[in-house]
Structure 1
Amino acid sequence: MVLKVLGAALLIFLALSLVGAVFKFLGAALVIGAIVLVGAAGYSALKGAKRKQLP
């Protein structure tokens, strides 16, 4: 009985650890994606502004 309880606790701990690692990765990916998006938008805006000035 004690081994079943310890086994269940171990499985729950491993599952929560895995979920935590996934969310940590997704948080980092979200920050990197936001930086790339802002950079691409800024670059596009600068390129577009230069094109509009030419006749």
Structure 2
Amino acid sequence: MLRWAIVFFVLALIAGFLGFGGLQGDLASIAKILVFVFLVLFVVSLVFGRSAGPPAI
């Protein structure tokens, strides 16, 4: 998911450089949303991954 956020960020930079202002804003918004979703899922996986306890043998 972080890879998609980086892709949309790069596309937003390219669109801004070429003068497509509306497209740049849309791509940057998508990138921000994907980064936020990635961070939330990362924190959730850290919390639930550590609360599982020691592995059963």
Q: Which structure is higher in RCO with an 8 Å CA cutoff and minimum separation 6? A: 2
CA RMSD of aligned residues (A): 1.8
**Residue 26 of structure 1: aligned partner:** 38
TM-score, reference length from structure 1: 0.61
Structure with greater helix share of residues? 1
Q: Does 1:35 align with 2:47?
A: yes
Cα separation, 2, equivalents of 1:17 and 1:38: 32
TM-score, reference length from structure 2: 0.59
Matched-pair identity in %: 13
**Residue 10 of structure 1: aligned partner:** 22
Find runs of 4+ consecutive structure 1 residues off by over 4 angstroms. none
Q: Which amino acid aligns with 2:46?
A: A
Q: Can you give the 5+ residue segments of structure 1 that lack an aligned partner in the other structure?
A: 49-55
